[in-house]
Structure formats: structure tokens, C-alpha cells
Amino acid sequence: MDTQKKREFVMNLKEFISELETDIEADIKDAIKNAIKDAFGTWDLPPSGRWITSFEPWESPPGDWWVDSSGAVSNWESINDTRLFGHERPTEALALRAAEKMRRFNILLAYIDKYAPDYEPDWSNKSEPKYYPRYDHLTGTWARGVDYWLEDVKPYGPADVIDGLIEKLNRGEVVL
């Protein structure tokens, strides 16, 4: 094959690949758009070319059973204040379960607040460890957990305070 024919072949191949890439890109964009529509509802493509959507914020649903500030469960008509704070549940069983979890979490928070009242994790510092107590169901003991940049809903505190809390939890001195 002479040089001219090789050049023409390469040019034709490049043009074919370019058209194929454009077709594939369009197909991929359409597939993504359809998958997003199926999963999340109506999506619009603004002039900027970036996907946007609007969502209704989730709010805790109203319930006839609610956990009061003492941890007691009561049957009462839904009140906006208790609903928005997450105290209301649709059934007594769910309210009792929530009350137990709230009690345990609040005891952990109260301990940390007593021994480290000014502690606030610095989530902008990705290398600073953030400690929390965790329970090991295999060994039946409490231990110290650590996060660096993944913030979960945990009672974070300084290492020495968390270590003291863990010792007291393991001795049964702090009961959840």
C-alpha cells in the first residue's frame, strides 16, 4: 500500500472513530438521563449543561405516639414541635424502641458534655482524629472508634474523655 493510500485510510479511520465517539457519547448521555429520570423523577438540562433537580425536603412524619423529654412514651395527637424534633412515631412499639436509643445516645452525649464541654470536632481538618465510643458485639466490650473525615451520627469527644467513658462502660459504672 503506497503512502497516499495509507494516509487516506488513516484519515477515514480517524473520521469513522470520531463519528462513532460522538454517537456513543450521545447514547451514553441519553442512557444516563433516562436512568436518572427513572430513579429520581423529573430532571431538566439547563443551558449550562449541568443536571439539576428539585427535591422536597424529608420531614419526620406525624405519629400518634411520641417520646417526651423524660423518655416516656405517650399516645397523643401530633404536634408540629415534637414531629419536627423527631419524637413522634406511628406505633407504640416504634416509640419505645426510639426512646431506648435516644436515652442511650443522650447518656453518651451527657458524659462527653460533662468532661469536654467545649469540644467540637474540626471537620475541616482531615488529619485530626475524631473519637467516639463503639460497642463490639463479638467481644461484648466497648472500644474507641475514630473517624477523620466521615462524620456519622456519633457522640464524638476527645480521646481521653472517650477512653474514660469506655472504661466506665466496660466496668458497668456508666449504664446505657
Residues 84-127 have pLDDT tens digits of 777 888 999 999 998 998 999 999 999 999 999 999 999 999 99
Q: Does residue 28 belong to any structural domain of this protein?
A: yes
Q: Which residues contact 68 (CB under 8 A, 6 or more apart)?
A: 74, 87
Q: Specify the pTM.
A: 0.60
* Rg, Å, the chain Cα set: 28
Distance CA 88, CA 124 (A): 34
Percentage of the chain lying above the pLDDT 90 cut: 39
Q: Does residue 45 belong to any structural domain of this protein?
A: yes
Name the 3-class secondary structure at 58: coil
Q: Does residue 122 belong to any structural domain of this protein?
A: yes
Q: Does residue 146 belong to any structural domain of this protein?
A: yes
Q: How many domains does the chain have?
A: 2
Q: Does residue 8 belong to any structural domain of this protein?
A: yes
Q: Does residue 78 belong to any structural domain of this protein?
A: no
Q: Which of 38, 55, 72 is the last residue of a domain?
A: 55
Domain that holds residue 144: 116-176
Q: Does residue 83 belong to any structural domain of this protein?
A: no
Residues 5-48 have pLDDT tens digits of 777 776 776 777 777 667 777 777 777 777 766 665 555 555 55
Task: Name, of 23-32, 46-55, 157-166, the range with top average pLDDT.
Answer: 157-166
Q: Does residue 87 belong to any structural domain of this protein?
A: no
